[in-house]
Structure 1
Amino acid sequence: MADWVDACAADDIEEEDLMRFDHGGRTFAIYHGPNGDFYCTDGLCSHEQVHLADGLVMDYEIECPKHNAAFDYRTGAALRAPACVALGTYKVKVEGGRVFVEI
């Protein structure tokens, strides 16, 4: 059964940016989209397990800092080689100025 986990304050992430979130021995990436919504994916690139929090966010894409693979962080879809496996995505809600992730 999934639980809602308090990840951070909504103000902790600038619009069109992301932050790393570690919980339960796993790493996640939380994104603040250009539409003001928040999203969450696995925090490691599916190609070589590099932390995506060090990558570049443009619109709804995260670019891996190591080999420039890219993903749509709304869906987890791999958009550019060398990544060909999608990222896992997680439901996000904002309540009382806090970002919660369903893990």
Structure 2
Amino acid sequence: MTFERACALADVQADEALAVTIDRYDVAIARNGDEVFALQDLCSHAAVQLSEGEVDNGTVECWLHGSCFDLRTGKPTNFPATEPVATFPVEIRDGDVYVDVESTLNGVTPT
């Protein structure tokens, strides 16, 4: 696994998402309570940034059409999205968030 620094943990506010670019991938770093997740920052339905949506109850909501995606699995939890988004392994080290964009937790290839 190749973890790269994405941001400072303090930059990710509770129940919000932060847009970062790691290598060639746009990634949304989401904080839900004390947990931090990384997922592809692109809705599988309408190709808009998920980082601009709301994080609540373990999901992130796409602001355009209301599709929600599970932060752990990347699977859509409601329509209109039917395809999952890629999720990535996260490590917290010395107050920083590290993400491995070369490995996906759910086998979905990021675009």
TM-score by length of 2: 0.86
Q: In the aligned structure 2, how far is the partner of 1:69 from the partner of 1:6?
A: 28
Match of 1:7?
Answer: 6
Q: In the aligned structure 1, how far is the partner of 2:54 from the partner of 2:15?
A: 9
Aligned length: 101
TM-score by length of 1: 0.93
- Identify the match of residue 39 of structure 2 among 16, 38, 41: 41
Match of 1:61?
Answer: 59
RMSD across aligned positions (CA): 1.0
Conserved 8 A contact 2:32-2:56: no
State the percentage of identical aligned residues. Answer: 29
Stretches of structure 1 that go unaligned for 5 or more consecutive residues are none
Stretches of structure 2 that go unaligned for 5 or more consecutive residues are 102-111
Instruction: Spell out structure 1 runs of 4+ moving beyond 6 A.
Output: none
Give, as a single letter, the amino acid of the residue that structure 2 aligns with 1:7. Answer: A
